[in-house]
Chain A
Amino acid sequence: MANISWKDYEKRVPDDHFFYVRSCIRQTFFPGAETALLNILRNELGKDVFEDSRHTTCTGIGYHSDIIPLETIMTMVARQLSLMTEAGYRNLLVSCVTSFGIYLEMLDMWKHFPEKLEQTRDALRKTTGREFELPQSVVHASDVVFHFRNEILKRSSVRLMNCKSGEPLKVVEHVGCHYAKIFPHEGFGGAEFPSVLSGLVESWGGTVVDYPERRHCCGFGFRHYLIQENRGYSVSNAKVKFESMAPFQPDFIVANCPGCAMFLDKWQYTLAEMTGKTFSAHGHGIPVLTHEELAGLMLGMDPWKLGLQMHQVQVESLLDKLGILYAPIEKYRLAGVDIKPPARPSVLMV
C-alpha cells in the first residue's frame, strides 16, 4: 500500500552487548531454546551477552492475573535493571514476550509518571539497597534473531524447503500479543503487520501460510488457563486456530511467545484426547518451534541438544523434510545414559 511508510515499522536493534533476562516457564517447556540463543549469539556470531543468575521472574503472569500489585512488579523490574546496571550493560535482551511487554510497560509508565519511578527507586533502595539506571534499548529475543537473520543464513546449509521436492515449507507464524500490540513501535512491523517471524521464515526459504484465523489468539490469555474451570475457553480458542490452519497443511508453526508456543504445542495433545482429532494428515500433529529452536536447526545444532524431544508434537517429520540428520537412539539419552521415554498419548501419534 502506497501510503504506508515501512520505515515506521522498523525497529532499531543493538548489534552487541546484551544483558539477557530469561523466561520463568520456557526452560520447562522448551528447555533448549534459551541456551540455543546464547550459543548462537556468543559462539556463532561472537556477541557479548551477559546474564546474572540472581535475576528472577518478572512476575508478569501474576501481574496479568491480578495477583501481583503494580508496586511489586515495578520493584521486581527495577531489581532486574539494577543487576544490569551493576554489570555495566544498557541493552536489555528479553527471552519472553510477556516479560518484554512488562519491561516496556514499566518504562513507559515511569516516563509518563516520573513520581512512580521515584517511588520505585525508593522501594528498591529500602528493600535491597540497590540502584538502577534505565536501559538504552529493550529488545525481544526474536528481534535479535530477526536482526541477525542474514548472518545466520550465511552460516547455514539448511533452507526451509522440503529437501526431496525442493518446495518451500509452509509455515504458520504466530506472534505473541504482547510483542507489538501494546507498544507497536517496539516490534518489527508494528501491531498490524508483524514481520518479525514472517520475515525470518521468508528469508530462510519458507512460505508463510496466510489462513483465516492467522491473527486469532493462541488461547493462552493468563487468567483463562490458570484456573482449571476456565481452561475450556483457552482450549476452544486454540481449536478455532488449528481448524482454520489445518486445511493448508502447514509443515510447522513458529511462535515467539512462551505461552503461544506452549499452548499451540500442548493443546494439540489435549484436543486430540478430548475430541479424537489431530490437525495433520497422519495424526502426528503440527510441530511447533520457537524462533531460537528454528535458528538452532538452521545452524546445524543437534535437535536433541535443542530439547526438541520435550515438545508434545514430535518433530521427526519436520527434520526429515528439512534433511536434518538425527540419531533416534539419542532422543531419550541424557549424559550418555538412557532415560525413560514419556508415555504415549492415546490419539496423537508420536
Chain B
Amino acid sequence: MSQQKVAIVGAGPAGLQAAATLVSLGVSVEIFERNGSPGGHLKQWHALFPHFQNATHALNPLLNGVKGITMHLGSKVSEISHNGNTWRLLSDDGLKYESDAVLLTTGFNLFDASRKEEYGYGVYPGVVTSAQLEEMFNGQRPWPFDKSLAAPKIGFVHCVGSRDVKCGNRFCSKVCCVTAVKQAIEIRKRFSDSAVTCFYMDLRMYGLGFEELYHEAQVNHQVQFIRGRLSEASPAVSGKIQVKAEDTLMGRPLKLTLDMLVLMVGMEPAVKLTAQNNHLALGKPGFGDGFMADRELNTPEYLQVTPGLFVAGACKGPASLPDTIQDAKAVSVDVYNFLKTKS
C-alpha cells in the first residue's frame, strides 16, 4: 500500500505542528500557504506571554519540525473537493493536489482597527495596534513618538473588535487581555519614566501565570487599570492623542492625553468555508461570519458528514499559541486514525 497523503492548508503554528506530527506518524504531507513565508502571525511577534519568551524561540522548533516537507508558499487554496475517498485541492496559482485527507489550519486575521472609526486608527499616527507594537519591540517599526521623550504616556484599549456586536464579533478573543498586560510591562521596562494606562471591560486572566503577570503590572510597574472602554480618541496639540472613557468604578468621565494609543485588536476568522455538494470554497469572511467550528461543540454539519476533512488551530476560534499547538497535535491523531481505518 502506498503512503497516505494529507494536504494541510495554512503554514502557521497549527499547520506546522500538524505537519510535523503527521510525518512522525508516517503520513506524507504537503503544506499550502498563501503567504510568501511560513509562521503565521507568530513570525511578526516579539515576545510571548506570560514569561516574555522570545517568539523566535517558539517559531524555530516549528520550522525545524517541517524540514524536508514540501511547502507550497504563495499558494492560496481557493477550492477543495472530494470524489469518493480522494480529496482534490485547487489553488489560485493553478496548483492541483490530490490527497486522502485535508487539514485546514487557516488561522485568524487580526481585526481591522480602522473599522472602529472613533479610535482614529489610520488617521492619527500615534494610534497603533498590538501587532504593530510587537514590531516596534522587534525594531521593525519606528516608535510613533520621540524616543528621547522624558516620560511617554501610553494607553492600551482592550477588546478592540471583540465583544462588540457592532463589529459583528460577539466573542472574546481570549489572548488580548494578557497580551496588553505583557506589553504594558514591556513598555514600562523600556521607558522607565513612562506612564501606562489600560482601559478594560474586565480582565480575563484565564491561564496559569496570567493573574500573576497582571499583579506584577499593577504593583511593580504601576500600570493603571481603568475599568471603562474607550469612547473616543481625538487629536490633541503636537500630535498627541486625547482619549475619553468613563471610569466606571469612580462613576465619572475621564480624559487623558497620550503619546501612543495601542489598540488590542481581536481575532477574526481568516477564511469562510462554503459547502456545495462535493465542493468547498475558501472565501473571504463577511460581517459577523464566525469561526469554522467551536473546539468541542457546534461542529458544522459538513465537517461531521465529510470524512477526511479536518480543522485545527485558531480557525476554530480564538486561541493562544499553546492552545493551537496542542489542538494541532490532537487533530493530527484524529487524522491518523481516520487514515488507518481507510487503509
Contacts and interface: CB of A to CB of B under 8 A. Distances in A.
Interface string B98-139: 000000000000000011010000100000000000000000
B166 to A, nearest CB: 13
Interface residues of A, number: 10
A214 B255 CA distance: 15
A214 B234 contact: yes
Interface in A178-218: 192, 210-214
Given A247-B237, A248-B237, A212 B242 contact: yes
Contacts of B237: 247-248
Interface in B219-252: 234-237, 242, 244
Contact of A211 (B117, B122, B235, B244): B235
A1 B115 contact: yes
Contacts of B235: 210-212
A248 B235 CA distance: 10
Nearest to B243: A212
Contact of B234 (A1, A3, A192, A211): A211
Contact of A212 (B115, B117, B236): B236
A194 to B, nearest CB: 14
B234 A210 contact: yes
Interface in A245-293: 247-248
Interface string B245-267: 00000000001000000000000
A213 B242 CA distance: 10
A211 B237 CA distance: 8
A247 B117 contact: no
Interface in A202-247: 210-214, 247
A345 B114 CA distance: 47
B167 to A, nearest CB: 12
Contacts of A1: 114-115, 117, 122
Nearest to A192: B117
Nearest to A1: B114
A201 to B, nearest CB: 16
B292 to A, nearest CB: 23
B168 to A, nearest CB: 12
A114 to B, nearest CB: 34
A210 B235 CA distance: 6
A213 B236 CA distance: 10
A248 B236 CA distance: 8
A80 B239 CA distance: 49
A26 to B, nearest CB: 30
A3 B117 CA distance: 12
Given A1-B115, A1-B117, A212-B242, A247 B236 contact: yes
A211 to B, nearest CB: 7
A330 to B, nearest CB: 38
Interface in A135-164: none
Contacts of A213: 234
B204 to A, nearest CB: 29
Contacts of A247: 236-237
A212 B237 CA distance: 9
A192 B242 CA distance: 19
Contacts of B115: 1, 3
Contacts of A192: 117
B114 to A, nearest CB: 6
A47 B105 CA distance: 65
A214 B244 CA distance: 13
Contacts of A210: 234-235
A210 B234 CA distance: 8
A212 B234 contact: yes
A159 B255 CA distance: 36
B256 to A, nearest CB: 11
A108 to B, nearest CB: 25
Interface in B76-117: 114-115, 117
Contacts of B244: 212
A211 B244 CA distance: 13
Contacts of B236: 211-212, 247
A210 B242 CA distance: 11
A31 B235 CA distance: 35
A213 B255 CA distance: 11
Nearest to A249: B237
Contacts of A211: 234-236
A210 B236 CA distance: 8
A132 to B, nearest CB: 41
A213 B331 CA distance: 53
Interface string A13-54: 000000000000000000000000000000000000000000
Contacts of A3: 115
Contacts of A212: 234-236, 242, 244, 255
13 contacts: A1-B115, A1-B117, A1-B122, A3-B115, A192-B117, A210-B235, A211-B234, A212-B234, A212-B236, A212-B244, A213-B234, A214-B234, A247-B237
Given A212-B234, A214-B234, 14 more contacts: A1-B114, A1-B115, A1-B122, A192-B117, A210-B235, A211-B234, A211-B236, A212-B236, A212-B242, A212-B244, A212-B255, A213-B234, A247-B236, A248-B237
| Across the A-B interface, the 4 shortest Cβ-Cβ residue pairs | A212-B234, A212-B242, A247-B237, A210-B235
